[in-house]
Amino acid sequence: MDVAIPRDLDPQVRAETLAREKAYSQDLQRGGEWAHIWRIAGQYSNISIFDVTDNERLHEILWNLPLFPFMTMEITPLAQHPSDIAVET
Ligand SMILES: O=C(O)C[C@H]1C=CC(=O)O1
């Protein structure tokens, strides 16, 4: 996720949006659907891992991000790798 908040956005709207974004993200992290989030060093961007039931749920989560209007995203679906020892039977 790359974030580009307009420089002329009202400072109060900016602060409220960032606070809502943080609370929304942390709720989903506590619930397990937002499994990981990393800052990309030197950029206003993150790489996140979502663990969701289906693409509809992922879309719902992303669409409702308070910062969604100011973001661009690249989505990469991941599947289990057959050699992953974490899922070995
Ligand atoms: O700062 C960001 O990377 C954007 C966004 C994603 C989660 C959050 O709290 O903010």
Q: Tell me, in angstroms, the distance from the centre of ligand 1 to residue 45's CA.
A: 8
Q: Positive or negative CA dihedral for 65, 66, 68, 70?
A: negative
Model pLDDT, residue 88: 75
- Residue 53, both tokens: 């039931």
Q: CB of 22 closer than 6 A to ligand 1?
A: yes
pLDDT in tens, 31-80: 999 999 999 999 999 999 999 999 999 999 999 999 999 999 999 999 99
Fold of 2-87: Alpha-Beta Plaits (3.30.70)
CA-46 nearest atom, ligand 1: 3
* Cα 77 from Cα 85, distance rounded (Å): 20
CA-71 nearest atom, ligand 1: 4
Model pLDDT, residue 87: 83
Instruction: Report pTM.
Output: 0.93
CA-1 nearest atom, ligand 1: 3
- Residue closest via CA to ligand 1's atom 9 equals 22
